[in-house]
Chains A and B, each alone.
Chain A
Amino acid sequence: MNPNKILYLGAEAEIKTSVYLGLSAVEKRRIRKSYRIPEIDHMLISARTKEESKLIMEARIQGVAVPIIYDVDVENGIITMEYIDGHRIKDIIHRLTEKERKRICEKIGDGIARLHNNDIIHGDITTSNMILVDDTIYFIDFGLGCKDSEIEAKGVDLHVLMEAFSSTHSLYPQCFDYVLDGYKKRFQGDADVICKKIEEIVRRGRYRT
């Protein structure tokens, strides 16, 4: 793989290919934003770099497929991690049959439940932040994540995915239900309480008076 090739230039970060001790890797570097004051810029970039790498490491320990973290440079906002050679869910979901879609979505739900069982809140569960390799779903981009045991946080976390499905993949309305099916099977707490919470968030967020 060609090192230092920009793989992706996002709103928040730049992803470059790289090599770490002979292994193919990516560097995720957070971009400084001139619209915000340096205090906020620095605080967000270093906090998110630190938090993201910490959460990825912890998710891995809990059996969720995530990239291996090779190096973290908090000051410059750079995480060097394993290169995941696969396809983003966003890019392949429309190519799947309904049956495959169901299976993949249930797996997504399973992964989210594993995170939530350990109070890991991803913070930005969208179909761009999951990569499918063979039959494994890798979760990436924990940049807006945190640790939180509250039902509220878990509900909001799932709600983000629900929104992503309804805005980006509105052609596949059942996807989120499949995700919840997978979630319910793996989640150790009371999944119905979380589902109720999602309904409440929908009411209060999008249906507010």
Chain B
Amino acid sequence: MTICLGIEGTAHTIGVGIIKSDKGRCQVLSNVIKGYHPEKGGIHPREAANHHATYVADVLSDSIKKAGVVFSAVDLISFSQGPGLGPCLRTVATAARALSLKLKKPLLGVNHCVAHLEIGRGTIPECIDPVLLYVSGANTQVIGFAEGKYRVFGETLDIGLGNCLDKFGRSLDLEFPAGPKIEELAKKSKTYVKLPYSIKGMDIAFSGLLTAAMQEKKQGTSVEDICFSIQETAFAALTEVTERAMAHTEKKEVLLGGGVACNMRLRSMVETMAKARGARFFVPSRNLCVDNGAMIAWLGLLMYESGIRMTIEDSMINQRFRTDMVQVAWR
């Protein structure tokens, strides 16, 4: 039996998860998450990194306590190597290296985006070969396994949808992250105001949508109507791109991941699309959808068990760690 401890810290969340493998399934022992919420404005990389440095020790001991294990029982340390914000990644990598040296346990850096997909496969028994729609603050990608690699079939050409929602939220003086509040406001309207719907092939753009939404607000359009329309437009575009990727790869499963995957309207759209195609729809539990350490731990374990090893030198962070750069030895 192997127990793996994973540390996540690509953006505004620091998280430590502890998992073990049970007949090839992921069993989460603990998954402690702490988010950095800037008081004003967007996420500042330096400040987020300071936040992570301040809390990593607490989150770590909390996670160990909740898992009911002792440090010496941990067999492997993994951490989010990228993609993400440089200062955050460096903070977390440093913590992971220190822990690995102290416990004399092997260290593995893992790809954050692939972790979002693997945690779905690891914790949902019927989820075997999905297309992942991964929507978070900075990332919006449609990922699937093809020809021995995880490939990005579509993604945002400009900003992540989460960031787009947060930016619009800020113009309304909503708290960060604005997604949940926008979801609430959207429920109060059924009036669609036309906003730009932008798809290029399997890629999406959101900046035009954001600009137009801000414009509507200036012109006095009801906030509820705009929120409703942003969601309907952006989510329909995401669902369309996901469906295209499923058709293209002939996959019969779709998995949601990322913070925006908590949105019930997005879930229902993707689920409706899946049903109409005779495909299955999956979404991990909330704590495994958002950025979290358990998914980092699980991917670390998969990699370790497939024979992948890293030296300290290999564990350099990579802000632009692309999904298709990952060597997939476990599938």
Contacts and interface: CB of A to CB of B under 8 A. Distances in A.
Contacts of B272: 34-35
A149 to B, nearest CB: 16
Contacts of B268: 35
A208 B201 CA distance: 19
A43 B194 contact: yes
Interface stretch (B31-39, B59-67, B240-248, B286-294): B240-248
A40 interface: yes
A123 B200 contact: yes
Nearest to A201: B157
B273 A156 contact: no
Nearest to B246: A11
Given A40-B192, A43-B194, A206-B322, A144 B201 contact: yes
Contacts of A39: 192, 194
Given A167-B151, A201-B157, A209-B83, A37 B146 contact: no
A209 B319 contact: yes
A206 to B, nearest CB: 6
B236 interface: yes
A33 interface: yes
A40 B232 contact: yes
Contacts of B244: 11-12
A167 B233 CA distance: 27
Contacts of A209: 83-86, 319-320
A124 B154 CA distance: 12
Nearest to A10: B247
Given A36-B236, A40-B233, A208-B83, A160 B243 contact: no
Given A36-B239, A40-B197, A205 B157 contact: yes
B49 interface: no
A170 interface: yes
Interface string B279-312: 0000000000000000000000000000000000
B203 A35 contact: no
Given A124-B201, A144-B200, A205-B157, A35 B322 contact: no
A35 B153 contact: no
Interface residues of B, number: 41
Interface string A37-48: 101100110000
Interface in A179-209: 201, 204-209
Interface in B123-138: 138
Contacts of B201: 123-126, 144, 156, 159-160, 163-164
Contacts of B202: 160, 163
Nearest to B276: A34
Nearest to B241: A11
Contact of A208 (B236, B246, B320): B320
Contacts of B147: 170
Interface string B205-232: 0000000000000000000000000001
A179 to B, nearest CB: 15
B155 interface: yes
B239 A35 contact: yes
Contacts of B320: 207-209
22 contacts: A11-B244, A33-B236, A35-B268, A35-B269, A35-B272, A36-B269, A37-B192, A37-B232, A37-B236, A39-B192, A40-B232, A40-B233, A123-B201, A124-B201, A159-B201, A163-B153, A164-B201, A167-B151, A204-B157, A206-B322, A208-B138, A209-B84
Interface of A: 10-12, 33-37, 39-40, 43-44, 123-126, 144, 156-157, 159-160, 163-164, 167-168, 170, 201, 204-209
Interface of B: 83-86, 138, 146-147, 151-153, 155-158, 192, 194, 197, 199-203, 232-233, 236, 239-240, 243-244, 246-248, 268-270, 272-273, 276, 319-320, 322
Given A35-B270, A205-B155, 13 more contacts: A10-B247, A33-B236, A40-B233, A40-B236, A156-B200, A156-B201, A156-B203, A160-B201, A160-B203, A163-B202, A168-B146, A205-B156, A209-B320
